[in-house]
Structure 1
Amino acid sequence: MQNAGMEYLNSRLMFGMMPGLTSTRMLCDALENPQKKFKTIHVVGTNGKGSTSYYLSGILKAHGFKTALYTSPHLVSLRERIRVDDVPISDEDLDRYLLQVKDAADKVNAGRDASQQIEPTFFEVLTLVAFLHYANSGVEVAVLEAGMGGRLDSTAVANGSMAVVTSIGLEHTEVLGPTESAILKEKMAVLGEESLAGKTFVVGGLSQELLLEARQFASDRGADFVVPDIRKDVTLPNLGQHYVENASLSLAVAKQFIGSSYDDALAIRTLSTRSWAGRMQTLTDAFGKVRYILDGAHNSHAVKRLVETLSRYYPQQKFHCVFGALKDKDVGEMLKLMGPHVSHWHITKTPYPRFRELDDLRNLLAGLGLNVATEGELSRKYLDQVLAEAGEAPVLITGSLYMIGESVQALKNDYEGLAFFRGLDQTTNEHR
């Protein structure tokens, strides 16, 4: 039986995504502004936000700070999104804070006519829950991954003094603007739009043209601007140069935030053990053999990074690939990019209604001259079947973070790399 807090949260799904800070600010005031009780570092960008946030929170924790991490979406459980010192929020605290947010909304709406009442969205409610949890846990610094954009994202009300920009690409253009330049400005405005004296941007992954625009944005508002070098001495569990780039950003941010007590050797050691789940993550068996490679690449930009990484770490190798994707993704381009690296296509889907049907995937592959080896609903049984067919080679699972979440749920009890997820009950996932 679903508890009252989760019932309230799920009732918010009908409101979709509504960019803007009015509701969040009113509710923060009603909750006595929990977001003011800790320092905040914002992480914005098109790709790379989650890993950068995760790496950064680990470095801060290793330096003795009580550190919060807020990310989205989750892979298995909502509780993953809200962590303190790498521990996910408990079911009891999640329910309690959800009801506090509901009570605050009822209080704000009391006496207002229907046209003036606020209806917080799913993501806004979760952001407020995170603020309450962090404030009541005595968190010193929170690393907040923006959900969408920056200026109008509910995380912006925390009004931190530092922001990380990981990358810029065309996304949510109906809200963020039609060009990369417009999107960049929306994301950088997470720190505000007027004077930003005393605040700092740490920026990576931009073209030279966008980098000049970003620097000008910061300069016009009096903010500091840092473009760190990509480190050569970083070793990560996650495969791929893009994760080295994200880790380099996290190191630069930590150094700026911590100051003279920053220990680079400690930070590097911390990163060597920090695996961001489901993103170029290798799962090894008890004998140290890689059995699966999980990667949540779900758009063409991310697939380009995936195939670059496969070329580097597995040159000349072709994979048995378990592939599924959502209906709104450019799947044809994704398949075309991956084609040279796949020997056998195993197409799949989950019960989530936004997934492409198997007939659709089969037709897209056929149009590219590619054949389907097997197909079926994603399950542990299906993954075992593909693994057996692959023999000694690792199986690649990719195409959607939703599918990676289902795979993690199926495999978590048998691979130590997924131990974090044991004890977490599966909950539905929405990008809201």
Structure 2
Amino acid sequence: MNYSETIDYLYHKLPLFSRVGSAAFKKDLTNTRILCEYLGNPQQQFKSVHVGGTNGKGSVSHMLASVFQSSGYTTGLYTSPHLYDFRERIRVNGQVADEDYVISFVEKIKPVIEDIQPSFFEITVAMAFDYFAQKKVEMAIVEVGLGGRLDSTNIITPELSVITNIGWDHMNMLGNSLEEIAAEKAGIIKEGVPVVIGERKKETDPVFLDQSIKKNSSIAFAEDQYNLISQEWKNNHTIITVKKEGQGVRSFELDLPGVYQQKNLLTVLNALDILQKDGYQITEASIHEGLKNVRQLTGLMGRWEILRERPIVILEVAHNKDGMEQMLQHLKLLSFDKLHMVIGMVKDKDAAQVLSLLPSDARYYFTQAHIPRALPAEELKEKAANFSLTGKVYSDVNEALHEALHNISMDDLIIVCGSIFLVAEVNKDLILQNA
């Protein structure tokens, strides 16, 4: 098989969560263990940091990877899902996995695939761990896919566990209360391995504290360690000033705009403090360098990604209540005339919870990604009408975006949001053609 045939095999042979939803979620780690045993347990051949949480785990993972790269470590980064190319999930020093490697890996593992019928995600995790072992990475930043306790990535024993926050997402699989969701996320806390919690919540703090005691794991809450002094935006960069008890004031420049990055930064800084104490050679200069160049060093896309300045066109993968609240907070800081929202969601998200937050004076373009799990655009429009949100239905995101580009003035703003799968289908050339 060539590369495209190999990817086609993976997509159509194996259950894929982005396409079929919870049917692709395997509720134990058996298949992942079998795959990795077949490969010689590559997950035991590199150091790692495990990053979970409801929102922010992708940004935190990329920021940590960027700092480790800037510190001179050969750094693996596993994230999901991808936007444009399957290989975005598996990177070493910012470079996606080789096509030839993907082909040879699938050929090698095919007998096991045919035997145990693993999910797409289980195969992807095993592939990432095998690739990291082959590339002899010195540190792998591994993002949890869904939940934590039963996530395929949870066969690693990391140097540090990080849980960014707990919010309402995937309730059909993780639980119907914040406490239940937190219990699933807390499943990545390992015996004797320290854990950083990004945000405090009265409902979830006891869950994490209880689990850390059970696992004999030291626990740190980033909000307790650092105070935010100020935040400003300059040329699509974020300048965040913080202070830690017993230290002076420090300012960091991030190439990741978005008001929510302030919480992510505190989480990253707390994680780096612990890793430095454990002997990792991470200097203040490499922290600054890494945070200033996250996109360039790790290839992060889709998080407040500005494609055009006038009119402003932004891609934002926010897709749940907390993510949308953070997105809307940042929108309030921008100056523009009319807001145009190109939006599509998936069926297993609480659309009403998201739609209830959105401004009624925006112009809406309801659409959907080309996956079975997508919420039909017509249905999304009907749900939106309950919150006085009006607009038209479009067959795909690029048709909606094309219409929006023809409706705007130079001082308007377009944002594409609601689903990472919707953002992934945006034709960026369309933006440039209409510039």
Matches within 5 A, 1:28-427: 28-105=36-113, 109=115, 118-173=116-171, 175-192=173-190, 196-197=191-192, 199-228=193-222, 229=226, 231=228, 232=241, 233-259=251-277, 261-275=281-295, 276-284=300-308, 289=310, 291-311=312-332, 313-314=333-334, 317-340=337-360, 342-372=361-391, 374-378=392-396, 380=398, 382-392=400-410, 393-407=412-426, 409-411=427-429, 414=432
Shift of the 46–339 alpha-carbon distance from structure 1 to 2, 3 Å rule, reads: same
**CA distance change for structure 1 residues 361 and 143 in 2, over 3 Å: closer, same or farther?**
same
With the length of structure 2 as denominator, give the TM-score of the two structures: 0.82
**Are residues 104 and 323 of structure 1, via their aligned partners in 2, closer, same or farther at CA, if it must alter by over 3 Å?**
closer
Residues in 2 aligned to 1:326 and 1:391: alpha-carbon distance in whole angstroms:
30
Distance in 1 separating the partners of 2:136 and 2:197: 29
Q: Match of 1:278, as an amino acid? A: G
Number of the residue aligned with 1:421: none
Distance in 2, matches of 1:99 and 1:59, equals 34
Give the CA deviation at 1:362. Answer: 3.2
State the alpha-carbon separation in 2 of the partners of residues 98 and 178 from structure 1: 37
Amino acid at match of 1:218: S
Q: Which has the higher contact order (CA 8 A, sep 6+)?
A: 1
Q: Aligned equivalents of 2:216 and 2:292: distance in 1? A: 36
Of 138-147 and 319-328, deviating more is 319-328
The CA RMSD over aligned residues, in Å, is 2.6
Q: Distance in 2 between matches of 1:120 and 1:128?
A: 11
* Residue segments in structure 1 that go unaligned for 5+ positions in a row: 110-117, 416-432
> Would the aligned equivalents of 2:178 and 2:203 in 1 still touch at CA under 8 Å?
no
What TM-score, normalized by structure 1, do the two folds share? 0.83
Quick check: 1:49–1:166 contact (8 Å CA) kept in 2? yes
The total of aligned residue pairs comes to 394
SS in 2 for 1:351: coil
Q: Rate the CA distance shift 1:41–1:375 in 2: closer, same or farther, 3 A.
A: same
Q: CA deviation at 1:327?
A: 2.8
Matched-pair contact (CA < 8 Å) for 2:337–2:413? no
1:264, distance to aligned residue in structure 2 (A):
2.4
**Equivalent residues of 1:283, 1:290 under 8 A apart:** no
The residue identity in structure 1 corresponding to 2:264 is N
The answer to whether the Cα contact below 8 Å between 1:44 and 1:150 also exists between their aligned partners in 2 is: yes
* Distance in 2 between residues matched to 1:25 and 1:412, nearest whole Å: 44
- Specify every segment of 5 or more residues in structure 2 that has no aligned partner in the other structure, as ranges: 17-22, 229-240, 242-250
Q: 2 CA distance for matches of 1:412 and 1:164? A: 38
Moved over 6 A (4+): none
Distance in 2 between the 1:371 and 1:173 partners?
Answer: 28
Find the residue that maps to 2:306 and give its secondary structure.
strand
What is the CA deviation profile of residues 341-388 of structure 1, one whole-angstrom value per residue up to 9, with x for unaligned ones?
x5322222333233333332333343333332x542335565244223
Q: In 2, distance between residues paired with 1:179 and 1:332? A: 17
Note closer, same or farther for the CA distance 1:362–1:188 as it changes in structure 2 (3 Å cut): closer
Matched, 1:7 2:9: yes
CA–CA separation in structure 2 for the residues paired with 1:319 and 1:413: 17
Q: Share of identical aligned residues, percent?
A: 27
